[in-house]
């Protein structure tokens, strides 16, 4: 019996047993607010075939829409991608850009393992790596930029500067 992800004041806890390679788990974080289709933002937590974890903010900085995981999306040789329903952005399981329309990788949260759970720190976010010029609101290669996640609903310009 697997538990359900839990949202706490400053973190999200996902049972490690729920994480299967290529099948990320979504946890809604109501304090982050919603997009214009009233989809609640939150955290996508996934692992790849090598066991590397990635916890990603489900909000596109460019369109402010909730990014969804589409297990059937095909981008080149890759099947399975995060998709911005309001734009053409496509990202891989680890949040890196899969096609040229997204200007940066997805925003990422730090994670740690705590017993049988993966704990995602939702108080701070690492801005996605820059993938286009001119680029703002993104991290340069090898120099990740961190931003505090504001209390309450994410402002429209969050992670754009």
68-113 pLDDT tens trace: 999 999 988 889 999 999 988 999 999 999 986 788 999 999 999 9
The pLDDT tens digits of the residues spanning 25-36 come to: 999 999 999 999
b/e per residue 43-53 (b: at least 16 CB within 10 A): bbbbbeeeeeb
Q: For residue 139, is pLDDT > 90?
A: yes
**Percent of residues, the chain, with pLDDT higher than 70:** 98
Q: Are 156 and 60 in contact (CB under 8 A)?
A: no
pTM score, two decimals? 0.92
Q: What is the structure's pLDDT at 129?
A: 93
Q: What is the structure's pLDDT at 2?
A: 62
Task: Tell me: cis bond preceding 134? Omega within 30 of 0 counts.
Answer: yes
């Amino acid at each position: 019996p697997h538990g359900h992800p839990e949202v706490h004041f400053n973190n999200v806890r996902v049972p490690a047993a729920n994480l299967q390679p290529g099948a990320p788990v979504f946890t809604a974080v109501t304090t982050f607010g919603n997009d214009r289709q009233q989809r609640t933002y939150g955290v996508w937590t996934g692992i790849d075939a090598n066991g590397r974890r990635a916890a990603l903010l489900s909000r596109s900085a460019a369109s402010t829409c909730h990014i969804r995981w589409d297990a059937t999306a095909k981008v080149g040789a890759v099947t399975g991608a995060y998709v911005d329903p309001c734009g053409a952005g496509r990202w891989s399981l680890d949040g890196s850009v899969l096609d040229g329309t997204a200007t940066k990788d997805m925003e990422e949260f730090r994670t740690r393992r705590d017993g049988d759970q993966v704990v995602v720190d939702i108080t701070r976010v690492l801005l996605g790596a820059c993938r286009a010029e001119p680029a703002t609101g993104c991290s340069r290669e090898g120099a990740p930029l961190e931003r505090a996640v504001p209390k309450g609903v994410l402002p429209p310009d969050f992670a754009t500067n």
